Structure 1
Amino acid sequence: MRIDILSLFPEMFKGVFGESILKKATEKNAVEYHVTNFREFSENKHSQVDDYPYGGGAGMVLKPEPIFNAVEKLSKEQDSKPRVILMCPQGERYSQKKAEELANEDHLIFICGHYEGYDERIREHLVTDEISIGDYVLTGGELGAMVVVDSVVRLLPGVLGNEDSPVKDSFSSGLLEHPQYTRPAEYKGWKVPDTLLSGNHRLIDEWREKESLKRTLNRRPDLLKKYPLSDKQKNWIQEWKNPR
């Protein structure tokens, strides 16, 4: 996968892309990152990328020319039809499902804006996706893009050491992940559940399924509205709600 970032502050990405899993992904040739300052594509002699909004109002609006020019050049160089992602608080609420969808692409371009907003023609005629990482406003789109890139890259084949890891993460199955324990088996009087020490994989799998469902019920019951519960899982929920 190739990931292009369009930002006025490219230095922000150096530490993020040069550490941990994102760095290992490049070492495994699973992904390559390119961060471009779209000010370089301005058609203004002062390299201006923003201007006052028509009709008046507070703040400045990003001009269409630099961003269109940058996306068109990158698309032509790669001979690709990339997913062009606008980081924006008005966009679709980001989810694990969206991360899995984007992980199947060959080329992603992220547009990170600043100032008051984008010229509407960028939304209407250039981008394929608008993404928001939450119902709040950040100074710019850079931090949001970092979040999305991290969540996508870890899903690429061969990036994580254990191929089952992303499959069992919270939200990947539709439920929150079950509790995890490691050595020692007892710490300050707190013991690891006996089932996990039993060596009985059938019982362990059932315990994990139950705990995953229970955690979701207690912490994110909204997720269960869209989750296809089995009859067994429905019975467990009824038992928890109506203990004998």
Structure 2
Amino acid sequence: MNIFINKIKQYQFMFSELVKRDFNKRYKRSVLGILWSMIAPLFQLLVMSFVFDRVFGDTMEHYTIYMFAGQLMFNYFREATDNGMQSITSNAGIITKVNAPKYLFLISKIMAASINFLLTLVIFFIFVVAYRITITWKFLFIIFPIVCLFVLIVGTGLILSAMFVFFKDVQYLYDIFTLALMYFTAIFYDVKIFEGSIVAKLIYLNPVFVYINYLREIVLHNTIPSFTYHLYCVFYALFILRIGMWMYKKYNYMFLYYI
């Protein structure tokens, strides 16, 4: 892990330029530009709220905030991993000419998605204030699940980007996977409706839900999860990161032959 960080520092200028390119590329020739990073999730929230609030709104306080928290974190995970998947192949022209760590291109994609996430997070807190939810010192702990999710995304990105070099079908399989994952992340429903069932256990095995639930506990219940819950968060993130680093090291030397 330290080697990864040191390499990013070594190629700091190149890395920063990659992040700028990846972020600006998304809004190139767009009239509203960066504002779309706030407008798009806002409209998605309004549509989902209009549909699902009629079903779950009466049984859950601050349902819109509950759903927004889930949508916010899940969209970040999906966008960052989707973009990171093709980070090596889409930068083949640079990779074949410049002797730089290939994971820099992955991290730059993730950082660009992270900027979008932080902008959307601002909208989220505006909603929190609008719904008159008291912001306390415990809100500082929101940083923890976000950092864990970032680490999880890096690990997932390392796995996907390595697989995509050799198997382009991964892109379509991952689309199906994220669709299924969304329904097992309890974005628009309360996991308590499945309490005691195998479905609830499967949902809690989903690391994205674990981080979403942490955020909801802080914002909606002003409660810091238990120490054991923190260990689960760290375990999921480091476990996936470790697998990703192993795959990257194992197949890194072969990338140039396939891109």
Q: TM-score range by the shorter chain?
A: under 0.3
Tell me which protein shows more strand as a share of its residues.
1
Higher relative contact order (CA 8 A, sep 6+): 2
Larger Rg: 1
Tell me which protein shows more helix as a share of its residues.
2
TM normalised by structure 2 equals 0.26
